[in-house]
Structure 1
Amino acid sequence: MAHPSVAVLERHMLLYRRLWKASVFSFFALPYLFLVSIGAGVGGYVGEVDGFSYLDWIAPGILASTVYQIAVNESTYGVYTDFEWVGGIHTMRGTRVSIRDMVAGWILYVLVMVVMAVAAFLAIAWLFGTLHSPWVWTVPLVCALLAVGAAGPTMAFAASIRNDGYFELLIRFVVIPTTLFAGVFFPVDELPQGFRQLAYASPLWHGVELVRAASLGTSTAWPVLVHIGYLLLVAAAGWICAEAAFRRRLDS
């Protein structure tokens, strides 16, 4: 019999088989549209950033932000509905699937979604000629770490609320500001000092720095190990919070 975490992953993948067509646009069309409209279109007015064309410079940021948003989106309504409406997680509780297995299986599912999106994006980025470093092979690893760092806290939040209206607050006051001020569209150094500190606290900024360095062959704002260590810390803390939120909800 499969490991319980793998069994949870299989359940999510079976559900995804019914909905996969909805993800085709976000995985393939959106990256292309972003690169054409913002990178090539707006880039004609911006010119170069740090010695690279704006298209080359922005592509890694768009990839990291896409991974971040996928991880958040896949960890909101799916978790909430399994607790509040479908009861799938409550059903798992009656089997030998532990809370850790539930969280691990869900994060594995998020990673599968992220890997597919990253592969599609890198293929499109290669066609646009925006990849300039042999270290690009590390991009999926960085994106996976960023995805876990984004999914864990989001799962904890989704398991703690009783009204899905709170997701709108999450998007408006966390996801959108994080995406706008994490170095995706312009260098963080151009922000006022106070806003820079908020950007530095975001796992997305660290992910953007690492993906951009791996794609362009540039150096990161902070030492690479510091960026990786921060993402590992956020991922571990988020995982712990997710398990605690699942346990609290199931025991209530």
Structure 2
Amino acid sequence: MAGTLATLERNLITYKRNWRASVFSSFVLPLLFIISIGIGVGRYVGTVNGWDYLSFIVPGVLAAGAFQTAHGESTFAVMSDFKWSRAYHAMRATPLRIGHMIGGWQLYIQIRVFIGSAIFLAVSALFGAVHSPWVLVTPLVCALLALAVGAPVSAFAASLNSQSYFPLLTRFVVIPATLFSGVFFPVTQLPTLVLPLAYASPLWHAVELCRAAMLGTEPLWPAPAHVGYLLLIAAAGLVWANRAYSKRLKD
């Protein structure tokens, strides 16, 4: 555990020097979504499932922000520490183990997401988009989503020698997942053949949990099923990351 915390401390110190670069994507962009889409477009949309569009969309934007933060922090940053700065190679020369490196990085991402989610919720409450005390669990849901996304994407990044694959990941996975995981409209409106793809997305499960918590409603699936799916994806991602990191550091 001490090694994981030491890695986490290193990541937090690095972020302390560069935090201004993440302000727009982590805080300003979600706020613009609330104003432009939740309030602006919401005037024309009306209600969705009995809720005003702002209240419907805010939980989705919250989860999507965590999804995109976890993805962003698990691509170039991970490759950089392997290929350019070789920080992971330097860590390997110390008593730190592979698990410490992975754990410290994933904890850093979860802390980033947790704090960002809490701030976003505070702003959302000012707009009247919070309707249940269960809203307090949504930062934990976002942190779990961050692990379910960050672990496999970090493993993917550790397996690559070229950053040219990252735009493909964004174009064919991140953007479609954001558009068709229930963030902007219920997935039940999708064609039947496409529904399994939506259900396979970790983002959809987090959106369902966040929406149920913020509105005080029941998710489409039982909550334990959503949580279990996210835990399963996170565990598989951590196993993959351990193998990818180990192989990369042997090269």
The 8 Å contact of residues 178 and 204 in structure 1, kept in 2 or not, is answered as: yes
The one-letter code matched in structure 2 to 1:106 is W
Matched, 1:188 2:187: yes
Matched, 1:135 2:119: no
The Cα of 1:27 is off from its aligned counterpart by: 2.8
The one-letter code matched in structure 2 to 1:213 is A
Listed as ranges, the gaps of 5+ residues in structure 2 are none
SS of match in other structure, 1:20? helix
Structure 2 CA distance, aligned partners of 1:13 and 1:62? 25
Structure 2 match to 1:5 = 4
Matched, 1:230 2:238: no
- What CA deviation, in whole Å up to 9, does each residue of 1:11-52 have, x standing for no partner? 111111111111222232212210000000111111000110
Structure 2 CA distance, aligned partners of 1:129 and 1:26? 23
Structure 1 CA distance, aligned partners of 2:145 and 2:24? 22
Structure 1 match to 2:66 = 67
Structure 1 match to 2:154 = 155
- What CA deviation, in whole Å up to 9, does each residue of 1:41-98 have, x standing for no partner? 1111110001100000000000000000000101111100000100000111111100
Matched, 1:213 2:212: yes
Structure 2 match to 1:58 = 57
SS of match in other structure, 1:213? helix
Stretches (4+) displaced over 3 A: none
Listed as ranges, the gaps of 5+ residues in structure 1 are none
Q: How does 1:1-252 map to 2 (within 5 A)?
A: 3-252=2-251
- What CA deviation, in whole Å up to 9, does each residue of 1:151-204 have, x standing for no partner? 001000100000011100110011001111100011101101121100000000
The one-letter code matched in structure 1 to 2:180 is F
SS of match in other structure, 2:214? helix
The Cα of 1:125 is off from its aligned counterpart by: 0.5
- What CA deviation, in whole Å up to 9, does each residue of 1:116-137 have, x standing for no partner? 2101100110111100011111
Structure 1 CA distance, aligned partners of 2:29 and 2:161? 32
Structure 1 CA distance, aligned partners of 2:169 and 2:210? 25
Provide TM-score, normalisation by structure 2: 0.98
Structure 1 CA distance, aligned partners of 2:35 and 2:136? 24
Percent of aligned positions with the same letter in both sequences? 54
The one-letter code matched in structure 1 to 2:190 is L
The one-letter code matched in structure 2 to 1:188 is V
The 8 Å contact of residues 11 and 105 in structure 2, kept in 1 or not, is answered as: yes
The 8 Å contact of residues 131 and 216 in structure 2, kept in 1 or not, is answered as: yes
Instruction: Work out the number of aligned pairs and report it.
Output: 251
- What CA deviation, in whole Å up to 9, does each residue of 1:207-238 have, x standing for no partner? 00000000001111111111111011011111
RMSD: 0.9
The 8 Å contact of residues 27 and 116 in structure 1, kept in 2 or not, is answered as: no
The one-letter code matched in structure 1 to 2:119 is A
Structure 2 CA distance, aligned partners of 1:26 and 1:76? 15
Provide TM-score, normalisation by structure 1: 0.98
SS of match in other structure, 1:221? coil
Structure 1 CA distance, aligned partners of 2:28 and 2:173? 25
The one-letter code matched in structure 1 to 2:214 is S
SS of match in other structure, 2:18? coil
